[in-house]
Structures are given as C-alpha cells and as structure tokens.
Structure 1
Amino acid sequence: MNRKLTAARKTQLKIEDHAVRFFTETIDAGRISPLAFFEAGESCYKDKRFYWQNADKTMTLVGIGHATVITSEGTDERFAHISNTWNKLRAALIKEEKDMEPVLFGGFSYDPKSVKDEEWEAFPSAYFVVPSFQLTIKNGRTSISINLVTESSEAAEEFDQLRDERDRLIHIAQVEDFNLLEKPKVVSIEEMAKEKYMKAVADVTRKINNGEAEKVVIARSVQLHFDEEVPAVTALHHISNEQQESYHFGLQKDGQLFFGATPERLIEISDGRAYSACVAGSIKRGKSAGEDRELGEELLEDRKNREEHQYVVHMISQVFQSFCTDIIMPKSPKLMKIRDIQHLFTPIEGKVEQGTDIFSLVQSLHPTPALGGVPTNVSLEMIRSEEKMDRGYYAAPIGWTDTAGNGEFAVAIRSALLDGDRAYLYAGGGIVADSDPAEEYDETWVKFRPVMRALGGKLNG
C-alpha cells in the first residue's frame, strides 16, 4: 500500500491549530467481505459501527470508529441542526480527486415528543456519525477511506496512526477466520401489552368513524429473550441473507444494535435527482405461485389497501412538487414482492431544486401516511395518546449522505433493537374506518416474521 503523503496533503496537515479540518484518504481494497470488515472492528469499536446495503446491492457501506458525532435532542429543529452542522463540516473537507466522498450515517427517532421507554434511552432525537474507517462497495468496486476531523497541529501524526489502524483492520478482515455463528436460541417470546394494542386499534377505529382522522398507524412490540448475548454480526448476517430484496441497516450505540431489513425507501438523491417509493397496503405471500398471484391480484383490487396506498402517493407527490421539477410517477401501483409479504408500490422521481439538501426532504416526508396517518398532525397526536409506546428509531428515517450531497434514507420498518440477550421487535398497520382489531393483530405477526426468523424465532404458519 502507498503510505507516502503527497506534498499537498503534507501542507494541508500542517495548518495552524484551532481551525477545524476534515481530511480523507481512500485506497482500493480488493475483495473484502463487508461483514468481515464490520466484525474486524468488534474488539476495539464494538459500539462504534454501522452497516448499510441498498436494495439493489449497488451500494454497501460499513463504518468503524467515530471521526465525529453529530446529535440533537430537539424536535422540529433537529433536521436543520444536523444539516447545518454537516454543511459546516463539508466546507472544511480537504480531499484529493481520487478520494471517495466521506459519508455521514445515522437516523432520527420517530417522534421526539412521544413517551420515553427505557430501552431507547441511549438514542437521542437524532444521531449521526462520520466513521474513522469507511468501507464502500459501489458498483462492484471496494475501497476503504480514513476520515479525520481535527483542530490539532499534530494532524500528520494522527493521520499516520489511522493508516496503521486501517491496515490492521483490513488484515483482520482478509486473513483471520470469520466464523458466522448459528442463529440465536430463543428462550421465550413476550408480547408487550397485547390487550392495550387491541384496545388502541378499537378506539382509533371508533375515532376515525367519528371523523377525527382518516387513517392512523398503530404499532406494537414483542420481546425475544435468548439463552446468551447475540453478536451484532450474527443478526446482520442472517437478516441480510434472508431478506435479499430489502435495504439492510445496522447502527450501534452503547451496547445496542438497531437493525433491520426494510422494503421502503424514503428518499434518495443521486447526481441532482431525487427518488422515493410510495409503499403502503400489504398482503401475505402465497404457498404456491398460483396462490401468490391470486393474493397479489386481491391486493391490487382491495379498496381498503388502495385507499391506504393513495394517501401515501398523494403526500409524497406533494412533497416532490415543493422541492423538485421534472417529476415522473406512474398512474397506478404495482406489486413489490419480498420474502414474507407483498406491498403496493408506486415509484416517483424528480430533479432537485438548487439549495435543497436531503435533510429538507427527509423532514418533509417523515412520517409518511404509511407510518403515521392522515392528517399527519392529528394522527401523531392520536398515536401518542392511544399507542403509548416509544417507537424509538422504528418507522423513522435511517440512512446516509455524503459530502457531495448524494445520499439515501430508508424507513426503518421490519426492524429490531438488539440489546445483549434480548431484542425488541416492532410492527404496525394502518387503521381505517372498517379495520378489525383481530385482523390488524394478525397482520403484525406477518410483519414481525422477517426479523424474528433472522433471530431464531419461529411462528406458526
């Protein structure tokens, strides 16, 4: 590996103290398993790692260590705070043309005004990191970057230490045995407040029939208990292996891992164009190709699901009209088929207007009617009063942006919070005027299944 600093970089590293500088350096890394690189950070960076892979497998990111952390405990201003802080950091970036763009990765809580539960205490309203070591696999090319944010006059020494550590991590990932553990052994599955959930669905249905709202998403959780602590890499391996068509994500903090495999992209910006996905309305997969086709046709023709889907289409298209031009969107939904469930799906894209960054779109799109309701403010108040559960980062935006303004956020459904020898799983559904609590309850089990299976849990049917 080339370990010589260029003359330009030597000069940059010697800039005086007290000026924040953001350095990056990228090398080609050959073929490295992203999960092997993730696991290479286990001993020294157990609580400072993240994982991301988009649904079409063209972009994989692994972050190890923290070059810097940006957080917010705010409510409405949290999106602007993350954006403004990141923009200041972007302005301090010093890179060469061959270097990859550094990324900022993280997520937001679903609702900073909701009830707070103990399991989510470590996660603030917004939590984002720039990794010290960034593995990027993009369109088949694997590279590893060092990122350094510093005010020190000893930047050259710091950078050289990071190079040594980068080489150590690469060596571990390439040479040491990477033993994928078997799925965890589930000791018990505990339903969290089932009766409260059933009552919430009934109460919300009644309020909708009284004209107080059109749709409200009510969620619930279950807790899995294991016979021993579950390694983060085990959870990520199994969920990504079993849910091939989904976005895969994992974010570690203070001994916990928030992870999942979501089918739902919230927003992507690539070279000045924005892309989103209207995903709402669902039905199970069939046990045969014929049954699967019949269920799909039933979903496409179902009035309740089509109405639920149209709420999302209307809202997302309005946001795009506010921030984009040259909008393209089909008139009718199609089917998105993933392993355990089928969804109605309508893609939308447009050209981003100058001055709009990804956080502006994330703020305007969250929560979509698929995870909140209609009208948005009314549904959020109803969720707070009826659901009475801290969703944490479940159903909230999680993803990345880079120093060039590209990025992608997904909606963190089909997700869980892994905490040592237990995990909290979350699932919900859209409640409308003719919703039935028993049917909504059954639907949540379908949505629990992907993460539960990855963690060794089993459901009948």
Structure 2
Amino acid sequence: MNRKLTATRGPRLNIEDNKVRFFTETIDAGRISPLAFFEAGDSSYSHERFYWQNADKTLTLVGLGHATVLASDRVEKRFEDISNAWQTLCAALIKEEKDLDPVLFGGFSFDPNHVKESEWAAFPSAHFVVPSIQLIIKNGKTSISINLVTESEYAVEEFDRLRDERDRLIHIAQVEEFNVLSKPEVVSVVEIEKERYLKAVGDVTEKINNGEAEKVVIARSVKLQFADEVPAVTALHHISNEQQESYHFGLQKEGQLFFGATPERLIEISNGRAYSACVAGSIRRGKSAAEDRELGDELLEDRKNREEHQYVVNMISQVFEAYCTDVSIPKVPKLMKIRDIQHLFTPVEGEVEQGTDIFSLVQALHPTPALGGVPTNVSMDIIRSEENMDRGYYAAPIGWTDTAGNGEFAVAIRSALLDGECAYLYAGGGIVADSVPEEEYDETWVKFRPVMRALGGKLHG
C-alpha cells in the first residue's frame, strides 16, 4: 500500500489549518483475535501499532498505522498541547451517526524535567496517535474503523485505498495462521546500579526523618538480554495471558515497544462520569488460600501501608472535589488481588464538571503519591537528585480518549521497554520514615515478576 495515502504525517501536522478534514468509517466485523489483527499489521506497520485492553475485558483496542500524530516536547504545557490539538482535530471530524468515534491513544513521560541520555530517547514528553485502522471489541462486539486526516483534494481516492487496506488486514487476521510464540530465551539479567538504588533508599529515608518529605517513591531497573529479537506480539501475548486481572497496553515507536500489565487505573470518563482508583500499599500473595488471607489481613492492618494508601486517597479526593460533583469515596480500603501481589484499593467516582476533559484530570492526578510522593514538588526534586534513572513512560499515564470525550488512562507500572534483543524492566516502592533498603529491594522483585515471567526470565527470591 502507498503509505502516503494513509496520511502518516508526523508530529507537526498543522491541524489549525481549516483545510484539514478528519474522516472515519466503521464496519462490523466477525470474530477476530485482537492479537492476530495486531500481528497482521507487522509487515506494514511494525513501528506504528498500539494495543489496549481494560481490566474487566469489556474493551479492547488495536491501532495500525498513523492517520496523524500529536506530540509535545514541552514541560509545563504538554497536557494542554495534546488537549488543544485533539479538540481542534475533533472539530474537523466528518462522520455518520452509525460510525464509532475515532480514538486517540498514547502516553506522557513521568517527568519531562528529568531527561538524561537513556533508552527513552525516541519518546517525547507526550506522544499520541490516531490510527489509520482501529479495531474495537466492546462488550463482545467487534468493529473496525478507518480514519483519514488529510488536506488533499483526493480524499475520496485515499479513503478507498484505506478500505482496501482494511479488508486485506481483516483477511490476514481471520484466515492466516497465528502462531503463538514461546517465551524468549533470556541470556542474562543485569541489575542496573543496584548499590546506587540501596544508597538512594537509605538517603531518602534519612531526608524523610529530617522532615524534608513524608514519602518518596524510588524506582530502579533491570535489563534482560535475549538470544534473539523478541517480536512485539510475543510480549503482548504472554503478559496478557498471565496477568488476567490487569490493564494490558502496548505502544510502539521507532522499533521499540513499551508494554505492561498494570493494576492501576488513573482516570476513566464514561458518559460524563469519572472513575479513579487509589492503589497503594502492597504485600505478596500466599502459597495457600489460608496464607493469602493472613497476608491480606496483615496488609489491611499494617500502619505503614495504610498510611501510604491514605496519602493517595487524600490527593485523588482533592482532585475529584475540584473537577467533579457528586463525589463518592469509601472510608475503608479493600484488597485488590492479582497474580503476584495484593494491594490496598479504594475506588473514587464523581460527575465531571462541564468544560473538563480527560487531559485536565490526567494532569491534575499525575503523579499520584503512589508513584511520586508527598509533598509532590519536594518528592519530585528528591527523585531527580537520588534516583539517577530516566523513568521515561514508566509510572506515567498511558491510555486513550475518543471524539465523544470518553476515555481511560492507566498508570504504566508493571511495565517494560522492549528494544529488539533486550528489554528494560522497571519497579519501585514508596519510601517512608521506617523504610529498610533491603526490604524495599526485595519488594521490587515482587513487582518485577509479572513482566519478568512474561519475557522468560527466572524469578528472583
């Protein structure tokens, strides 16, 4: 297919120009495996794909190709940049009532103020795409849309070519055999600056005891080296298969895949109502149901974890009170149990005030105390000085919105950056006054496990 006709424009498309038009068309499709459809785009869109599945499995999204890219390198205005560009693009939309709303998918970096030379060089502070071809499975029904953003006078011809491309991809996904690949062969696991991490935890604990902050999240990374290049679909298949209770995501850019299985929703807006989740405080799963209950009860009663959890509840509650009405927050947390770990969990919801979009809420909520600390500004300064790591999109917002204003963002933890024959895995924990470096180190291994296992690595501890 002539790629020019899919309107792959790059990050500087001038959507302010009133000549730009945004076309979409949706057809119903039969049963299609979303990962088979993802893999069908490998030959033509190997660097231009995304994948999303929400935690309750009621929505799956796959995007192939780029109708357009919205990006920002700015520090203070990146949320506003994406919001404004998306609103302008939405105003150019031409669709029929039967057509589904086009989707914008992407993410933000954790901290654009803390950029160093790292594996994240290809990712700007904000990167979002409108796919040329999008698959949506919602409540069991599969639909496929084509999207065209164009200034060309030959839009009709371009759209016809997109229809042909859509049909080709559907045929591949439905007819050709999709081979589930075995897990990669791991050659080595390298802990990156382990001693620096342990020292950072000790130093941060001392700062907290000196009254400089109440809580600071410190993260670290490990690098897996594989015998061969790992296909993106292999990583997505295994992480999705093994972490059933989580959000699954994958975002490709310039040969890399950022992917993961996160338990943590940041914000969802559905028909004008907003939902968030306070997730902080954790303990391992038990080897038996009885031990699991004992550990869960221990977590519910643990002062350190309850305190850490309350920081998150307080912060998210304040944001909802500022941007929503009819806010509902349970007074006591419950347990969220996933395969390798259990967390304290408190749901929050409210009615979104008119004029507030999902990017406003994402900006107000990021970073939560579960990923940054308390107070926010102080903890971020300490992270920059002590962590010595570019988090990239790890622990940052990733998700989607549509032209109707609905959408959902998760916090990109339990994640990795896959880069050919290697992958970088990330994990962290909240440091408070009585934190012990060795215990925090052990906790990171629990958090590494989901991605480590999916990529064929051996569990530590």
2-structure distance, mates of 1:267, 1:117: 30
Deviation at 1:357, TM superposition (A): 0.1
Deviation at 1:46, TM superposition (A): 0.1
Correspondence 1:332-411 to 2 at 5 A: 332-411=332-411
Where 1:279 maps in the other structure, the secondary structure is strand
Q: Which residue of 2 aligns with 1:297?
A: 297
Q: Which residue of 2 aligns with 1:253?
A: 253
Q: Which residue of 2 aligns with 1:85?
A: 85
Instruction: Give the share of equivalent positions with the same residue, in percent.
Output: 82
Q: Which residue of 1 aligns with 2:114?
A: 114
Where 2:153 maps in the other structure, the secondary structure is coil
1-structure distance, mates of 2:96, 2:394: 38
Q: Which residue of 1 aligns with 2:195?
A: 195
2-structure distance, mates of 1:142, 1:421: 34
1-structure distance, mates of 2:298, 2:237: 34
Correspondence 1:57-456 to 2 at 5 A: 57-456=57-456
**Normalising to structure 1: TM-score of the pair?**
0.96
2-structure distance, mates of 1:284, 1:406: 34
Deviation at 1:388, TM superposition (A): 1.2
Q: Deviations over 1:108-131 (max 9, x none)?
A: 000001132321000000000000
Q: Deviations over 1:314-341 (max 9, x none)?
A: 0000000000000111100000000000
Q: Deviations over 1:186-245 (max 9, x none)?
A: 000000000000000000000000000000000000000000000000000000000000
Q: Which residue of 2 aligns with 1:31?
A: 31
Where 1:161 maps in the other structure, the secondary structure is helix
2-structure distance, mates of 1:121, 1:420: 15
Q: Deviations over 1:128-181 (max 9, x none)?
A: 000000000001110000000001110000000000000000000000010011
Q: Which runs of 5+ in 2 are unaligned?
A: 1-16
1-structure distance, mates of 2:309, 2:18: 52
Where 2:60 maps in the other structure, the secondary structure is strand
**Normalising to structure 2: TM-score of the pair?**
0.96
Tell me which amino acid in the other structure corresponds to 1:135: L
CA contact under 8 A between 2:445 and 2:460: conserved in structure 1?
Answer: no
1-structure distance, mates of 2:205, 2:130: 43
1-structure distance, mates of 2:460, 2:111: 33
Correspondence 1:18-57 to 2 at 5 A: 19-57=19-57
Query: Structure 1 186/327 Cα, relative in aligned 2: closer, same or farther at 3 Å?
Result: same
CA contact under 8 A between 1:117 and 1:389: conserved in structure 2?
Answer: no
Where 1:119 maps in the other structure, the secondary structure is coil
CA contact under 8 A between 1:103 and 1:403: conserved in structure 2?
Answer: yes
Q: Which runs of 5+ in 1 are unaligned?
A: 1-16
Q: Deviations over 1:246-303 (max 9, x none)?
A: 0000000000000000000000000000000000000000000000000000000000
CA contact under 8 A between 1:32 and 1:173: conserved in structure 2?
Answer: yes
Tell me which amino acid in the other structure corresponds to 2:227: D
Q: Deviations over 1:378-426 (max 9, x none)?
A: 0000000000100000000000000000000000000000000000000
Q: CA RMSD in A?
A: 0.7
2-structure distance, mates of 1:95, 1:275: 28
CA contact under 8 A between 1:18 and 1:152: conserved in structure 2?
Answer: no
Tell me which amino acid in the other structure corresponds to 1:413: I
CA contact under 8 A between 2:48 and 2:66: conserved in structure 1?
Answer: yes
2-structure distance, mates of 1:452, 1:176: 30
1-structure distance, mates of 2:118, 2:342: 33
Q: Which residue of 2 aligns with 1:8?
A: none
Where 1:447 maps in the other structure, the secondary structure is helix
2-structure distance, mates of 1:418, 1:439: 28
2-structure distance, mates of 1:85, 1:339: 39
2-structure distance, mates of 1:132, 1:141: 20
Q: Which runs of 4+ in 1 moved over 2 A?
A: none
2-structure distance, mates of 1:324, 1:69: 30
Query: Structure 1 433/272 Cα, relative in aligned 2: closer, same or farther at 3 Å?
Result: same
CA contact under 8 A between 2:108 and 2:397: conserved in structure 1?
Answer: yes
2-structure distance, mates of 1:169, 1:80: 35
Deviation at 1:18, TM superposition (A): 6.2
Where 2:79 maps in the other structure, the secondary structure is helix
Tell me which amino acid in the other structure corresponds to 1:74: R
Tell me which amino acid in the other structure corresponds to 2:135: L
